[in-house]
Amino acid sequence: MSEPVTVYQRMKDIPAEHLLAPGTAMCAGCGGLQALHEIHDILGRDTVVVNAAGCMTLLAVYPYTPMPGSWLYTSMASAPAGAQGVRDALDIRIAKGRLRREDDLRVVVLSGDGSAYGMGLSASSAAIERGLDFLYLCYDNEGYGNTGQQTSPATPHGAQTATSTGPVGHAGRKKDLFAIWAAHRPAYLATVIGSEPLDLARKIEKAKRVKGPKLILALSPCPTGWGFDPQHTVEIARLAVRTGLWPLKEYEDGVITHTKVPAERAPVEEYLKLQGRFAHLFSPQRNETLLAGIQNEVDRYWEGVKP
């Protein structure tokens, strides 16, 4: 069996047993891949995936992709523009009688947080404004994972990344992409996580029925970038929900509904202490100020949520 083909220097550091299969550069325990599997199963084959540069583009090994429908690669900033082109081409073919309406395809943007929260946000905003009928699926691993987990606009306060290496980690705060999309009044908007497959499935089924711009935002635990053993992906994902750090919610017709309210929230520490990117909050001594700050922010969020 040949050695795995890897693209970036960082990938060479991943132990071979953590790779999904020789020939790909995906890591075992990838929460983004878990969410993508679950979502793609529900979306089905009649889907064109427009994929902005990031970890998931490494699923394609020329000339093959694991997506049974079509797959298009775009730059980080332009996936929603690519989706517009695909949608237009399909509509023109239907109008000219070259594609039967019942054979129409669903257009899905697939990108990481670097594109969705940052480089591609302007293209998303314009696509929502035009009322483009597309589903935007963002797997959010809270950093530029593919190039070595540099800080992105989705990196949480206090996390260490390849570019936030000081004793307090990232000084900025995670952008609220849900609120930014909601302000655009899209057709549908939801947060999901792979470890809550029923909640996820219900939301994807709903997104399939709704026409117009839609966003599915999936928090995606990333063993390589967050610093944990791949066997803990599901545990960490469940803790993200149980601590209240990742609220599961949806937006429809101007109304935001929380789809799972943790009965008794676990302390955020339980989630943070399992990840290398937060190790500096616990050792060589506990950073009580930062830990209390993170907990307070979560408490404040939930105070504003009606049961």
Residues engaged in binding ligand SF4 (CB under 6 A): 26-27, 30, 32-33, 55, 141, 145, 222-225
Helix (H, G, I), strand (E, B) or coil at 50: strand
Binding piece for ligand TPP, criterion CB under 6 A, among 11-19, 92-100, 107-115, 188-196:
107-115
Give the whole-angstrom CA distance, residue 99 versus residue 105.
Answer: 10
Give the whole-angstrom CA distance, residue 53 versus residue 74.
Answer: 6
Report CA-CA distances (Å) from 286 to 89, 164, 283: 56, 19, 6
- Closer to ligand SF4 at the Cβ: 158 or 223? 223
Give the whole-angstrom CA distance, residue 272 versus residue 52.
Answer: 29
Instruction: Report what 147 binds from ligand TPP, Mg ion, ligand SF4, none; CB cut-off 5-8 Å by kind.
Output: ligand TPP
Binding piece for ligand TPP, criterion CB under 6 A, among 106-114, 240-248, 261-269, 274-282:
106-114
Least distance in angstroms from the C-beta of 209 to ligand TPP: 28
Give the whole-angstrom CA distance, residue 185 versus residue 196.
Answer: 26
Binding to ligand TPP (CB under 6 A): which residues in 29-58? 53-55
Give the whole-angstrom CA distance, residue 169 versus residue 148.
Answer: 16
The site for ligand TPP, by CB under 6 A, has a size of 17
Give the whole-angstrom CA distance, residue 224 versus residue 226.
Answer: 6
For position 80 contacting ligand TPP by CB under 6 A, the verdict is: no
Least distance in angstroms from the C-beta of 58 to ligand TPP: 9
Binding to ligand TPP (CB under 6 A): which residues in 240-269? none
Report phi then psi at 93, rounded to 5.
Answer: -65, -40
- Closer to Mg ion at the Cβ: 86 or 116? 116
Report CA-CA distances (Å) from 137 to 2, 8, 53, 118, 189: 33, 24, 13, 15, 10
Per CB under 6 A, the list member of 4, 80, 114, 186 interacting with ligand TPP is 114
- Binding site residues, Mg ion, CB under 5 A: 112-113, 141, 145
Give the whole-angstrom CA distance, residue 146 versus residue 160.
Answer: 16
**Residue numbers of the site for ligand TPP (CB under 6 A)?**
53-55, 75-76, 111-115, 119, 141, 144-147, 152
